[in-house]
Amino acid sequence: MTRLGCLPTLNKHRRRKRPFAAAGCFVHFRLFNKVYLAPSDMGAVTDDEVIRKRLLIDGDGAGDDRRINVLLKSFTKWCNSPGTPEEGFTQRMLSTLAQCEFSMGKTLMVYDMNLREMENYEKIYTNIEQNITSAHEKIAECKKEIQRAKRIRKNRQEYDALAKVIQQHPDRHETLKQLEALDKELQQLSHIKENVDDKLELRKKQFHVLLSTIQELQQTLENDEKSDNDDNIQESLAENGE
């Protein structure tokens, strides 16, 4: 980049008339134009391009650019000065140069920092994307879980409902026990009934025997009586006939 220190005032006049509305850092645009190439040297480049480029290069324009210009001005003055310059002059120039170098170094470090920050952001970005996908998967899992849990709950409730109904019916063991007890009672009673029946039979038979014996005896007695009577009648007939 050639530096034209010549014709500064001419450029100043020429440039002051141009309206620059857009950026907020047009304060030192005249300084830009003093230092950098005029558009006419670059051929077909438009004013806006130049403005943009210059703003990009040094947007703030407060400290650095002025320093460079001051340095250049003092250097040309020093070159063009007839006699020996003042003592502090060289010192001042060197210090300005050092300041410029320092600011350049600072800008380089900022650039490095920005690059590293970008990398960091990329990393965080991929991390977040991974988290999002894993969260999606977890959500799907949880939805499946919920479906399962609902099924389980439904089954449990059905079970409970049925259990409620079943509870209303009496316990099977109890009923079986009652049945057993009843069975035993039944058996006992039938046993007793059998016994009583047997006894009844026996007594019937005995009475039968007794009665039949009595009847026979009666018969025998009657027979005897009859035979006695017959004997007596025959005897009386025989007595009467003699």
Partner 1 sequence: MAIQHFTTYPRVLCVSTDVITARLYWSGFPLCVSSPCDSPEQRRSVCSRMGPVELLHMSVFSQSFSPCGRFLAAGNNYGEIALFSLSAALSPEATALSKKAVLTFTAHEGPIFSLLSTDCFLLSTGNGEISAWSWTELIKKNVKPLWTKRPNYKSSLEIPEINSMMIQSRDNSLVIGGGDNNVHILDLEHGVFKSVLQGHSDYVHCVSVRERESEILSGGEDGAVRIWDSRTGQCVHCIEVYKYESCARPQYGKWISCLTTDSDWMLCGGGPSLSLWHLRSLSPTSIFPLTGCQRQATFHQDMILAVGDGAFVSHCLLGGEVKAQIPCSPQSVNTLQLNANSSEHQVLTVGGSSDHIDVFTNLSYRAFSLSF
Between CA 135 and CA 142 the distance in angstroms is: 10
* 21 vs 165 by CB, closer to partner 1: 165
* 21 vs 166 by CB, closer to partner 1: 166
* 169 vs 173 by CB, closer to partner 1: 169
* 150 vs 193 by CB, closer to partner 1: 150
How near is the Cβ of 175 to partner 1 at its closest, in Å?
A: 18
Chain centroid to Cα 142, Å, comes to 4
Site string for partner 1, 44-73 (x = CB under 8 A): ------------------------------
Residues 94-153 that bind partner 1 (CB under 8 A): 147, 150-151, 153
How near is the Cβ of 178 to partner 1 at its closest, in Å?
A: 23
How near is the Cβ of 62 to partner 1 at its closest, in Å?
A: 49
Q: At what angle do helices 87-168 and 64-80 cross, to 10 degrees?
A: 170
Q: What secondary structure does DSSP assign to 60-107, as a single string?
A: S-SSHHHHHHHHHHHHHHHHH-SS---HHHHHHHHHHHHHHHHHHHHH
Q: How many CB atoms lie within 10 A of CB 27?
A: 11
215 belongs to the binding site for partner 1 (CB under 8 A): no
Q: Are 58 and 24 within 8 A, CB to CB?
A: no
Q: Are 72 and 42 within 8 A, CB to CB?
A: no
- C-alpha neighbours within 13 Å on the C-beta side of residue 214: 6
DSSP category for residue 17: T
Total residues interacting with partner 1, rule: CB under 8 A: 12
Q: Which residue matches tokens 């009673």?
A: 189
Q: How many CB atoms lie within 10 A of CB 26?
A: 16
How near is the Cβ of 168 to partner 1 at its closest, in Å?
A: 9
How near is the Cβ of 132 to partner 1 at its closest, in Å?
A: 21
**What proportions of the chain, in percent to the nearest 5, are helix, strand and coil?**
85, 0, 15
Environment class of 32 (CB within 10 Å of its CB; exposed 0-12, middle 13-18, buried 19+): buried
* 122 vs 158 by CB, closer to partner 1: 158
* 153 vs 203 by CB, closer to partner 1: 153
How near is the Cβ of 140 to partner 1 at its closest, in Å?
A: 13
Residues 150-169 that bind partner 1 (CB under 8 A): 150-151, 153-154, 157-158, 160-162, 164-165
* 115 vs 161 by CB, closer to partner 1: 161
How near is the Cβ of 194 to partner 1 at its closest, in Å?
A: 43
Residues of this chain that bind partner 1 (CB under 8 A): 147, 150-151, 153-154, 157-158, 160-162, 164-165
